[in-house]
Structure 1
Amino acid sequence: MTFAPGADLIAQHLTYQRTQRRLAERTLAMYGDAFTRLQALCDKEGLALDAIRPHHVRGWIARLHAQGLGPRSLAITLAAWRGLFKWMGRERLVAANPVDGIKPPKAPKPLPKALSVDDAVALAEQAPRLTPTPAASQAAATRQEREAPWLAARDTAMIELLYSSGLRSAELIGLDVQAAPEAAGWIDLQAAEAHVLGKGNKRRSVPVGAAAMRALRHWLDVRASLTPPQDNALFISRLGTRITPAQLRNRLKQLAQQAGLPTHVHPHMLRHSFASHLLQSSGDLRAVQELLGHAHITTTQVYTKLDFQHLAKVYDAAHPRAKRKA
């Protein structure tokens, strides 16, 4: 194959990525942006691609970062450049890859979003409402009326359990009605405990609060009155099969909107709320780690930042000397 310099060489590489590696169009577009940056930097310094050295790459990445390019974009840029020089190395166009070993700046980890206590309670108390559209048929309205009580029982039990015990979405969905050797998890009604299978196939037991236990018992009574489900799952869909992650997310989204909450709510937000509120009340980081099933305490320590934010807000609101004069 005959290789052309500069932009033409980059175009040949993108063709290789498209035809041989079959990269997605979105990825190819991002790589194209990265190569446009590379070509502009090379042109500015009068460098050919095979003349680039690691100190050039480090300086360029620092410059792009100073110009406002974020860590994620820089990581994509380095990945594109690294792939280009790896390909050039296979074609014997460069002796070494100048991008090897160069890492982008670390992106700050966003703090997990948690509901306030009042919002968590409002969500737990929010039952499905009958909201037929003006064009809805009588049959659709009748179905809503028939489904509303059992949906309310199921949804309340799910929300209470997520918030009461800090379960992951998969742990909640994996719960069965009865304990069995093959069950991923179950509820011990006598001991008020949830036994779940968490990440890394690690089992743990977590307490279930009184409000969640009441909601669970009510849901189990309602569930027993339904047509025999097709699944041993604790939480089922309208078809009697185990509820899916998408159905759980959609229900939480709808209920949060009905409750008038000012933020998008997803299952993991209730886990964050459980951890944050428990830490605010107890201050026992190690206990929160055990309840969440975190393998390392460093994973749990992120909630101390949320706890500090909460304390800072209380301080700003309550202390007479906290706020500066305008």
Structure 2
Amino acid sequence: MQPGDTALVEQYLEHVRVEKRLAQRTVELYALDLQKLGQLADEAGVELLRVQAAHVRRWVAQMHGSGRSGRGIALILSGWRGFYAWLGRLGRVGSNPVQDVRAPKSPRPLPKALGVDDAMQLAEHHDDQADPVLEARDAAIVELLYGCGLRVGELVGLDAQASAGARGWVDVQAAEAHVLGKGSKRRTVPIGRKAVQALEHWLAARPGLAGQDPALFIGRGGRRLSAQAIWLRLRQRSLRAGLATPVHPHMLRHSFASHVLQSSGDLRAVQELLGHANIATTQVYTRLDFQHLAAAYDAAHPRAQRKSKG
């Protein structure tokens, strides 16, 4: 980096450290991004004050071609954009060369879902050494998450019965869960037979925990369980059940969607059950379904198991 460019970068970093009061780690990341900018500018034989949008687009293409993710490039561009916006306020550049440059889109990662066997292993796990009341509660939590595809926030918001101020509730007799989803949208989700049985068992044991909280799932103190507590309990339960990967609530939601789609092929029904406003959000599970079919083909089809000659 040329001496004049180095001075500009140091002034900017001092600005974000002192005037914007950014965290030290953020300042360090900005410094790395601007070091990269200086390196690329040097290779192109251009000073930082003379960088044009064409340079930036070329550098984005180079970073993408070298394997850097779209998200990583977007973060770098954000740092560069802030630097040139600051130079513009100082009157050092006429326009921001990064303003209209965007990073390549990264492919949307597939949601992590359990295989059917692993999901059944978790659902059927029973810990004889655990407190029977807590064991009944945790078993019901797993059955509702996997059997209904609920978000953890929807699960946490459920009450044991309907009331005027309830965010959501379960109707065991009707085998339905009434949940308040994203955007304050309500939906009714059917509860399967196994989940109904688990709920009945838990509701019979629930008075063993003190407290008058109307929440369906409560802790030892009788208060509504938090999402964090459910994450922790599910992680511990999945490890005790012998699963190789710790399970979190959203993984069970993904598993529910993937397994229903594999069995029914009805994307619209899965959309309704999950409470997705847009079918495009649900379509990601078709990619999971295809992966499942491809794996089955590779494992079973004679033409997928040809041995190489030679």
TM bucket (normalised to shorter chain) is over 0.9
Counterpart check, 1:235 vs 2:234 = no
Alignment TM-score, normalising by the size of structure 1: 0.91
Q: Are the aligned partners of 2:160 and 2:216 in contact in 1 as well (CA < 8 Å)?
A: yes
Q: Which amino acid aligns with 2:30?
A: Y
Counterpart check, 1:279 vs 2:278 = no
Q: RMSD over aligned Cα, in angstroms?
A: 1.3
Residue aligning to 2:251: 269
Q: How does 1:35-184 map to 2 (within 5 A)?
A: 35-128=34-127, 130=129, 148-184=131-167
Q: Which amino acid aligns with 1:109?
A: R
Structure 1: how far apart are the matches of 2:307 and 2:249? 41
Q: Are the aligned partners of 1:6 and 1:48 in contact in 2 as well (CA < 8 Å)?
A: yes
CA deviation vs aligned residue, 1:144-184 (integer Å, no higher than 9, x gap): x6xx1011100000000111110000000100012112111
Alignment gaps of 5+ in structure 2: none
Offset of residue 230 of structure 1: 4.1
Q: Which amino acid aligns with 1:156?
A: A
Q: Describe the SS at the equivalent of 2:187.
A: strand
Alignment gaps of 5+ in structure 1: 131-144
Structure 2: how far apart are the matches of 1:70 and 1:178? 47
Residue aligning to 1:295: 277
Farther off after superposition, 271-280 or 39-48: 39-48
Alignment TM-score, normalising by the size of structure 2: 0.95
Structure 2: how far apart are the matches of 1:98 and 1:81? 9
Residue aligning to 2:227: 245
Q: Which amino acid aligns with 1:95?
A: G
Q: Describe the SS at the equivalent of 1:5.
A: helix
Q: Describe the SS at the equivalent of 1:29.
A: helix
Residue aligning to 2:31: 32
Structure 2: how far apart are the matches of 1:312 and 1:65? 29
Structure 2: how far apart are the matches of 1:127 and 1:19? 56
Q: How many residues in Structure 1 have an aligned counterpart in Structure 2?
A: 306
CA deviation vs aligned residue, 1:15-67 (integer Å, no higher than 9, x gap): 11111222222222221111001111122222122211100110111112222
Counterpart check, 1:211 vs 2:194 = yes
Structure 2: how far apart are the matches of 1:226 and 1:101? 58
Q: Describe the SS at the equivalent of 1:92.
A: coil
Farther off after superposition, 188-197 or 21-30: 21-30
Counterpart check, 1:259 vs 2:241 = yes
Residue aligning to 1:201: 184
Q: Which amino acid aligns with 1:15?
A: E
Percent identity between matched residues is: 56
Offset of residue 125 of structure 1: 2.0
CA deviation vs aligned residue, 1:283-323 (integer Å, no higher than 9, x gap): 00000000000000000000001111111111122211122
Residue aligning to 1:11: 10
Q: Describe the SS at the equivalent of 2:67.
A: coil
Q: Are the aligned partners of 1:30 and 1:76 in contact in 2 as well (CA < 8 Å)?
A: no
Q: Which amino acid aligns with 1:42?
A: A
Structure 2: how far apart are the matches of 1:181 and 1:57? 57
Q: Describe the SS at the equivalent of 2:179.
A: strand
Q: Are the aligned partners of 1:128 and 1:151 in contact in 2 as well (CA < 8 Å)?
A: no
Structure 2: how far apart are the matches of 1:226 and 1:118? 33
Q: Which runs of 4+ in 1 moved over 6 A?
A: none
Residue aligning to 1:316: 298
Q: Which among 280, 284, 287 is matched to residue 305 of structure 1? A: 287
